[in-house]
Structure 1
Amino acid sequence: MRQTVDWFVKNFQRLLDWLRQKTIHKEIGLATLQALPFWIASLLTGLVAVAYEKLFSIFEHLGTLLYIQSPVLSFVYIPGFFLLSWWLVRQYAPTSRGSGIPQLMASIELANPRHDARVDKLLSLKIAAVKIISSLSLLLGHGAIGREGPTLQISASIFRFVNRMLPDFWPPISKRIMLVTGGASGLAAAFNTPLGGIVFVVEELTKTHITQFRTAVFASVIIAGMTAQSLLGPYLYLGFPKITPVGFSFVWVVLVTGAVSGLMGAYLAKLLLWLSDWKARHFTKLYQQIIFVLVLGVLFAALLSVMGPNAGGSGKELMNRLLFTDHKQVHWYEFPGRFLGPVLSYMSGGAGGIFATSLSAGAALGALIAEVLHITQANYNLVILISMVGYLTGVTRSPFTSAILVLEMTDRHSAIFYLLLGAAVAGLIGHAVDRKSFYEHLKEKFILETA
């Protein structure tokens, strides 16, 4: 009897071990199958982001050279490139215009089987291709645009394409999580800021609890970022600006800088929204739209002739000059140029972001604030970084993302509390100007446009 019981117990234990092993293997297999599309899409995002960054730098440099060599002819070729950029968008992918972040936000909100056709109007490989070509055309006209917002729409399009290519037998994957992860990977690859990508997801892209997508986001951000770093090297977007320690007495400077930069960023967003609505009401016919774009091109050429070539491009050279040289003072017209340049470029209707241009405008404004407040030159960099954070917060209404992005771009951890304080003040000021962010307003318009 005892032998029978021992045999039964022994074999029952073997059965439990066998079932446990099968269950674990099945779970591991299922988890691997579900994760594989994210890994593939992240790798592709990293490769495309690097290629786009290289093209963007080349065309931005070409646009600068064209203007420097023939400023008079810029009144001819800049309107031409603006018109080409607008025409590409209008003819082949109307929703590829502008930044790309509102389109991603709208797609995430529409991410369910009933609205697949509507999401297709916002994210696709065709839209991504038009986005790239249109933005490069604007750069040849020395347009004041960035590549970071477009990179998010491009990366989300890649993630959506990979998701749609999965066979029927594949374990189901949430379309919303796929798009959210695509946005995080795009931002991480564009700025080399993995933490910024994660924070942006939590703060801006989704109201879903992070536990539902944290593994996918973390893994995808790591893969996309490592892919970009393996090709570009372990770079910082802005390097290591020197920061001098300051005391509590400097807080008033942080508060003033955050308030002023946040106010200007918020009013940039208000101006862009107002002009977009005005354009939509008064320029409905094709010939009117063509004339409007050509006039914008002429105005932009005039802006460059008055305020200099720094009013065009992404503004990264201006940020590098202010942060890494002793030439930290700016002329009175440099901030107005960095403010108006993105307005004229964005209103052309071509593809191009306002993320990087907001940072460069904030840098120019920060240098002005430091000069007006008679800040010692040793503390200029801190004021400039706070203004960059505040201006971007005013536009995007994402204070934590703005602070973490600038922190990761510069690796200045000693300034984190000042950056966060400046971002918080800018966020409050921006909220007083408009309860909704620039991206939220445009997201709602894209949702209606795809209906």
Structure 2
Amino acid sequence: MLFWSGAVVVGLTATAFTLSSNYAQMLFHSMVTAYPWLPLLVTPLTLAGVAALTQRYFKGAEGSGIPQTIAAIRMPEGSDRDAVLSLRVAIGKMFLTCISLLGGASVGREGPTVQVGAALLYNLRWLVRFPRHLMERGLIVAGGGAGVAAAFNTPLAGIVFAIEEMARSFEERTSGTLITAVIIAGLAAVYVQGNYTYFGVTNATLAGTSGWFGVLLCGLAGGLLGGGFSRLLLAFSTHGLPGRPGVFVRTHPVKFAALCGLALALIGIASGNAAYGSGYAEAKHLLTGTETVSAGYGIWKMLATFVSFVSGIPGGLFAPSLSAGAGVGQIVASLLNQTNPGALIVIGMAAYFSGVVQAPMTAFVIVMEMTGNHDMMVPLMLAALLATAVSRIVCPRPLYKALASNYLARARSSA
């Protein structure tokens, strides 16, 4: 009963996080609509303030949250793991991500929800003694998977993500725990928000030979762009900038975050105010065709997400990557003169996301569930697998695993 209650708390917390982050984005977009140039002041100050709070009070809350959760699974039981999955870090993660979105950062809440969900279930161990195999990794994996399920209303994707990206195996002793947590957390989120599809339902299908050629193009483009994005991100995270710029980043992280905020504001203005935030609204506009989105949106979104991530603030890559992928699909559809670009936009989302995280099963399952389009399963699988193969040529180290290794190395060197 305690474990079930914990899973319910994960679902309700993810829902509260969703509503808060959506409200923060709404406030920012209202401000930009009224004062288009105000981000030049607000965004640098916000990113600097968030970076300062993270450095001072919430060490371990920076970045996506998924690498920290994977690192926690690899850590021996003790103070290091407790620090990464503390309730203080979980609260800071949610609060600072919302503040970042309020300032226009191109981040998502889904990666942070993984760390928050893992922290909530992991801290149940203070209330009751669980079996050792659950204490070692089961609660962390289950909490992370439950976080994905509740954040997107994608229970199957939550299970697949936990197996493919976090656990890398399906252990008989913990499988029941994982599935139970995902289902209960998902039900709790649905109870509050209703049963919905993240991007709405789309019935778009591929049209003829050109449509399947578009799948191949999306797979290649998603793998090249996603792999390039991950390689640049890992290069910055591992080695930093060379020379004096690198020294400046290490010694003045708050000032560097402010500069990133200024760059982000300039990117946002150049993109017609489309590159800010998680990108949920822009991706939905592309899928439904309800509003016009600029042809270069995907590239602007990639740049905005890169700048936001390297600034050191909390925030995830899931939603921005899916949104950028929708922009990739838009470009491919325009090259092939598709009268109904919706199908290739869906394919582009899965392809670019696969290129970034190199988790093809999670990519096609999560996009399929988020759009309610099960007829696209085969082309989604093909694009995701092709993008992953191409991405591994460009970036041999999977992003989240490599970031987790970097995080472990820093934790050991500071111990």
Determine if contact 2:249/2:256 at 8 Å carries over to the other structure.
Answer: no
Aligned residue number for residue 295 of structure 1:
259
Determine if contact 2:211/2:344 at 8 Å carries over to the other structure.
Answer: no
Determine if contact 2:48/2:255 at 8 Å carries over to the other structure.
Answer: no
State the distance in 1 between where 2:131 and 2:359 align.
Answer: 34
SS of equivalent to 1:142: coil
State the distance in 2 between where 1:292 and 1:370 align.
Answer: 38
Aligned residue number for residue 311 of structure 2:
348
Q: Deviations over 1:396-428 (max 9, x none)?
A: 100010000000111111100000000010010
1:218 deviation in Å?
1.1
Match of 1:383 among 336, 344, 349: 344
Aligned residue number for residue 77 of structure 1:
42
Distance 1:210 1:340, change over 3 A: same
Aligned residue number for residue 320 of structure 2:
357
State the distance in 2 between where 1:412 and 1:387 align.
Answer: 14
SS of equivalent to 1:94: coil
SS of equivalent to 2:94: helix
Aligned residue number for residue 122 of structure 1:
84
Letter in 1 for 2:286: L
Determine if contact 2:267/2:300 at 8 Å carries over to the other structure.
Answer: yes
Unpaired segments of 5 or more residues in structure 1? 1-35
Determine if contact 2:360/2:384 at 8 Å carries over to the other structure.
Answer: yes
Aligned residue number for residue 8 of structure 1:
none
Aligned residue number for residue 167 of structure 2:
206
Aligned residue number for residue 162 of structure 1:
124
Aligned residue number for residue 95 of structure 1:
60
Distance 1:279 1:162, change over 3 A: farther
1:259-338 mapped onto 2 (5 Å cutoff): 259-276=220-237, 277-279=239-241, 282-283=246-247, 288-325=252-289, 327=291, 330-338=293-301
Q: Deviations over 1:166-205 (max 9, x none)?
A: 25xx655522111111111011001100100111122111
State the distance in 2 between where 1:217 and 1:289 align.
Answer: 38
1:91 deviation in Å?
0.7
Aligned residue number for residue 330 of structure 2:
367
Aligned residue number for residue 398 of structure 2:
437
Determine if contact 1:121/1:450 at 8 Å carries over to the other structure.
Answer: no
Letter in 1 for 2:64: S
Determine if contact 1:96/1:130 at 8 Å carries over to the other structure.
Answer: yes
1:391-406 mapped onto 2 (5 Å cutoff): 391-406=352-367
Distance 1:327 1:62, change over 3 A: closer
Distance 1:86 1:208, change over 3 A: same
State the distance in 1 between where 2:344 and 2:131 align.
Answer: 50
Determine if contact 2:295/2:330 at 8 Å carries over to the other structure.
Answer: no
Distance 1:171 1:422, change over 3 A: closer
**TM superposition score normalised by structure 2:** 0.94
Range that drifts further, 83-92 or 228-237: 83-92
Letter in 1 for 2:134: S
Q: Deviations over 1:58-89 (max 9, x none)?
A: 00111112222222232112111011111111
Q: Deviations over 1:127-175 (max 9, x none)?
A: 01111121112112111110000000000010111123225xx655522
1:325 deviation in Å?
2.2
Q: Does residue 4 of structure 2 align to residue 39 of structure 1?
A: yes
**TM superposition score normalised by structure 1:** 0.86
State the distance in 1 between where 2:160 and 2:249 align.
Answer: 42
Determine if contact 1:283/1:289 at 8 Å carries over to the other structure.
Answer: no
Letter in 1 for 2:194: G
Compute the RMSD of aligned alpha carbons: 1.8
State the distance in 2 between where 1:121 and 1:51 align.
Answer: 23
Q: Deviations over 1:222-245 (max 9, x none)?
A: 100000000000011011113135
Determine if contact 1:84/1:134 at 8 Å carries over to the other structure.
Answer: no
Q: How many residues align?
A: 408
1:296 deviation in Å?
1.1
Distance 1:96 1:227, change over 3 A: same
Letter in 2 for 1:102: P
1:391 deviation in Å?
0.5
State the distance in 2 between where 1:268 and 1:347 align.
Answer: 12
Distance 1:249 1:345, change over 3 A: closer
1:53 deviation in Å?
0.4
Bigger Cα Rg: 1
Distance 1:449 1:287, change over 3 A: closer
State the distance in 2 between where 1:244 and 1:40 align.
Answer: 41
1:259 deviation in Å?
1.0
Identical-residue share of aligned pairs (%): 31
Determine if contact 1:265/1:392 at 8 Å carries over to the other structure.
Answer: yes
Aligned residue number for residue 65 of structure 1:
30
Match of 1:258 among 207, 216, 219: 219
Letter in 2 for 1:59: A
Determine if contact 1:304/1:311 at 8 Å carries over to the other structure.
Answer: yes
Determine if contact 1:41/1:158 at 8 Å carries over to the other structure.
Answer: yes
Determine if contact 2:214/2:332 at 8 Å carries over to the other structure.
Answer: no
1:40 deviation in Å?
2.0
